[in-house]
């Protein structure tokens, strides 16, 4: 009997195509040369430079998978993940700005907007218009669909009233994908998505939060006081806002995974560089086995994170189920980022605790990974439910 050849040739998940490598290299160069010199000043001021945001637009980073017919790059989701990772190595604040624009806002518009809405808004989103995704409220964090913001039908318009909290990009954004309940009696099935322009009557960007980390990325309150929204600005179907939110957040979690991956890699890179030049007892601290063990464990966790993030992104692009993998990579990456940044501070010792070295900032930035776009506990719930529901 002829033996069966069971060998399978598979490309590693981290193997990139030539196009992907070139794209990654371009983003890496931009992050290091253009964003890097301003990271500390932006963190201290709590403001991201407008000229750098425009450079992100000019480089195509704000419209990676928007079709070329609308002025976008005509790329795909995995390229967005590569960009987010590279930016986060240098500044997680830059990464979250690009992340929200691509994985949440643009993604929702491409999938749910009408052709007229796409023609109206996508060219702006590719050129110079920053966007924001407004779901969270004071009483609806993890319970995302306990929305208090209400929409009322008034003929040609809807009238919206309510407050949104913790909205990323809000200080600079001109467009907001905002969720409100048009039929509270229907519960979450009354939630509808609206495209809000900053200049709409009754709409206002409120208090900007003073945060622990990702300080240069703005996080603000939104105030809707009899805000008039044209009926043409409903995104998707009436009452389908919950579906838009669920699907975009599932993909957005891969983006958060990429942020935390990049952050962890950046912290590891700083620790490696410092360990090879810092001397104690006549030799570099990298020569001490205790330090080597720390660096090795950090490297293993970062590489495991990369495999999980890339796998989730590749599954999404292939049109395969990815919800479990997205929750897993977000959950795991946020843990690894926090641990790696903390250990990097310890490798650097006293200077690691000062603002003169970047690891202190990366440690502060890492904490948000376990909170936004679904807390770690919510990821555990999703993972467990997906596993238990399998037959």
Angle at 11 between CA 8 and CA 12, to 5 degrees: 115
Q: How far, in Å, CA of 259 to CA of 309, rounded? A: 10
Q: How far, in Å, CA of 272 to CA of 113, rounded? A: 46
Residues in the chain: 391
Q: How far, in Å, CA of 210 to CA of 108, rounded? A: 29
Question: Of 137, 301, 338, 373, which is the active-site residue?
Answer: 373
Question: Is 373 in the active site?
Answer: yes
Q: How far, in Å, CA of 391 to CA of 389, rounded? A: 6
Q: How far, in Å, CA of 206 to CA of 223, rounded? A: 6
Q: How far, in Å, CA of 235 to CA of 195, rounded? A: 7
Q: How far, in Å, CA of 370 to CA of 379, rounded? A: 9
CB-CB contact of 292 with 283 (8 Å): no
CB-CB contact of 216 with 48 (8 Å): yes
Q: How far, in Å, CA of 101 to CA of 231, rounded? A: 23
Main-chain dihedrals φ then ψ at residue 335, nearest 5 degrees: -65, -45
Q: How far, in Å, CA of 263 to CA of 91, rounded? A: 8
Rg (CA), the chain: 22
Closest by CA position to 167, among listed 21, 372, 9, 7: 372
CB-CB contact of 233 with 195 (8 Å): yes
Strand partners, 279: 284
For the chain, how are helix, strand and coil distributed in percent, rounded to 5?
Answer: 55, 15, 25
Catalytic residue set: 373
């Amino acid at each position: 009997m002829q033996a069966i050849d069971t060998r399978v040739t598979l490309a590693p998940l981290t193997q990139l195509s030539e196009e992907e490598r070139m794209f990654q290299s371009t983003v890496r160069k931009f992050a290091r040369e253009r964003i890097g010199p301003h990271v500390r000043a932006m963190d201290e001021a709590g403001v991201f430079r407008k000229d750098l945001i425009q450079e992100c637009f000019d480089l195509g980073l704000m419209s990676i998978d928007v079709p070329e017919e609308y002025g976008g790059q005509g790329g795909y989701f995995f390229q967005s993940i590569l960009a987010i990772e590279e930016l986060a190595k240098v500044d997680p604040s830059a990464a979250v700005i690009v992340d929200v624009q691509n994985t949440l806002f643009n993604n929702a518009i491409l999938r749910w907007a009408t052709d007229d809405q796409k023609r109206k808004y996508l060219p702006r989103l590719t050129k110079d218009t920053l966007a924001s995704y407004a779901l969270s409220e004071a009483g609806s964090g993890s319970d995302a669909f306990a929305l208090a913001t209400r929409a009322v039908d008034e003929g040609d318009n809807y009238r919206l009233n309510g407050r949104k909290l913790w909205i990323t990009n809000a200080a600079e954004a001109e467009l907001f994908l905002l969720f409100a309940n048009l039929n509270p009696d229907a519960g979450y099935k009354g939630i509808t998505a609206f495209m809000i322009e900053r200049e709409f009557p009754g709409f206002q960007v409120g208090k900007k939060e003073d945060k622990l980390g990702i300080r240069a990325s703005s996080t603000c309150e939104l105030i809707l006081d009899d805000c008039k929204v044209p009926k043409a600005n409903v995104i998707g179907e009436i009452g389908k806002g919950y579906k838009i939110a669920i699907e975009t957040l599932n993909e957005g979690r891969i983006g958060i995974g990429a942020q935390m991956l990049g952050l962890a890699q950046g912290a590891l890179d700083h620790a490696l560089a410092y360990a090879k030049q810092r001397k104690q007892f006549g030799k570099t601290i990298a020569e001490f086995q205790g330090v080597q063990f720390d660096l090795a464990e950090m490297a293993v966790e970062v590489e495991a994170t990369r495999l999980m993030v890339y796998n989730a992104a590749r599954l999404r692009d292939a049109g395969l189920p990815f919800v479990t993998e997205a929750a897993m990579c977000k959950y795991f990456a946020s843990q690894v980022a926090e641990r790696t940044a903390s250990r990097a501070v310890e490798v650097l010792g006293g200077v690691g605790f000062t603002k003169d070295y970047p690891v202190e900032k990366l440690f502060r930035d890492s904490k948000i990974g376990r909170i936004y776009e679904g807390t770690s506990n919510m990821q555990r719930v999703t993972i467990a439910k997906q596993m238990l529901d399998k037959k």
